[in-house]
Amino acid sequence: MYNRYLEAISIRAKIEQIMCLHNLRAESPIYWSEEGLVPKRYIDARAAHKNSSEFIEKNLRLGYQGIAENVFNTFAVLFALAAAGSAAFIIRS
């Protein structure tokens, strides 16, 4: 999460440079003229896939999305087991 925050700061700095908001010269040591706006890890991740559909499908369940899905599925199974156990207990009574 913190990594994305730092990447967002660097993207904003690059956009500010392009828009000349800080009156920096291109030869200034803090001017990142040789880099694109998108962080390199995103470009590298895209290069491993044939198309955008494949990229989305392979990465859809990673990160927080995958964690949330696993938690939801776990609780759904636990709820189903509890409901089945309750039904069996009521039937036996």
Considering only the C-alpha atoms of the chain, give the largest distance between any 2 of them, rounded to a whole number of Å.
Answer: 83
Question: Is the separation of the CB atoms in 5 and 13 below 8 Å?
Answer: no
Question: Is the separation of the CB atoms in 32 and 14 below 8 Å?
Answer: yes
Examine the pLDDT at 27 and tell me if it is beyond 70: no
Examine the pLDDT at 24 and tell me if it is beyond 70: no
* pLDDT interval class at 79 (50, 70, 90): very high
Task: Spell out the domain ranges in the chain.
Answer: 1-60, 61-93
Q: Residue 19: which of 35, 7, 29, 31 has the closest Cα?
A: 31
* pLDDT interval class at 74 (50, 70, 90): very high
Percentage of residues of the chain with pLDDT beyond 70: 85
Q: Residue 13: which of 4, 1, 22 has the closest Cα?
A: 22
Examine the pLDDT at 68 and tell me if it is beyond 80: yes
